[in-house]
Amino acid sequence: MELFYREYGEGKPLIVLHGLFGFSDNWVTLARQFASRGYHMYLVDQRNHGNSPHAEEWNYEVMAEDLRDFVEKHELERPVVLGHSMGGKTAMEFAVRYPNMLEKLIVADIAPKAYPVHHQQIIEGLSAVRLEELTKRSEADRELQKYVQETGVRQFLLKNLARDAQGNFRWKMNLPVIRRHIEEVVRPVCEGAHFMKPALFLRGGKSDYITEADYPLIEDIFTDVKFVCFEQAGHWLHAEEPARVLEEVLAFLEE
């Protein structure tokens, strides 16, 4: 699969994978800062997201294979892989399957465990937006507000609203496949596997995606792991505390 990506800088390759409903644009500001410090940044849209192709098959195995193909096609020599949320699970799955293809792993606010499905309200809201009737983005926001009260979350989701060649609104994400296969996003990864290269897990102190109770599971799989907690941040810690994310990741990369 030919994944869409954004590219910045020169130097050591660092691949960034976004989370569910996101795409490469979410990481541009931080990517430019990493690029200014000597890293060759690749911000990748995972399948069924952003500007990458849509496909019926959607799970962590195929997304890890997509990443392997991307690394091989671009002839990247042992890149660092950073993934947030869903992207973190893809990164973990890739790391345990192909440990010799990366140098270090960075995971932002996700554990390799199973989670309950908790995206139904967002999916219902996105599905309720009548794209064929939209004349402007504010109309989509009003409809989505019936399902998603948080303004910041709606703004994040509405970044997926685009126009096709005829000028009609469309979702960049493959909403029908996401809706049918949402259980794939919350299932565990890396069961029975081990990754012995350096790994950094970042977590938001106000998020429940990773808690200290998850550390033993993570340490069992990722045997050379470091944890950093951003006490005042939630799940989108890279948006809430970008300066500290930059600082902690650079320190880890330069160890």
Question: Rounded to whole angstroms, how far apart are CA atoms 84 and 202?
Answer: 9
- Tokens, residue 140: 């989509």
Q: Give the up-direction half-sphere exposure of residue 13: CA atoms within 13 A in the CB hemisphere.
A: 19
Tokens representing residue 53 in the block = 């192709």
Q: Is residue 182 a contact partner of residue 88, using CB atoms and an 8 Å limit?
A: no
- Cα 213 from Cα 151, distance rounded (Å): 31
Q: Which residues contact 154 (CB under 8 A, 6 or more apart)?
A: 141, 144, 145, 148
The β-bridge relationship of strands 80-84 and 104-108 is parallel
Active-site residue (options: 49, 85, 207, 238): 85
Is there a catalytic annotation at residue 235?
yes
DSSP string, 101-112: G-SEEEEES--S
**CB-based contacts of 218: which residues, under 8 Å, 6+ apart?**
111, 112, 201, 210, 225, 227
Is 138 a known active-site residue? no
How many angstroms separate the CA atoms of 161 and 178, rounded? 16
Could you say which of 40, 84, 235, 238 is catalytic? 235
Residues noted as catalytic: 85, 235
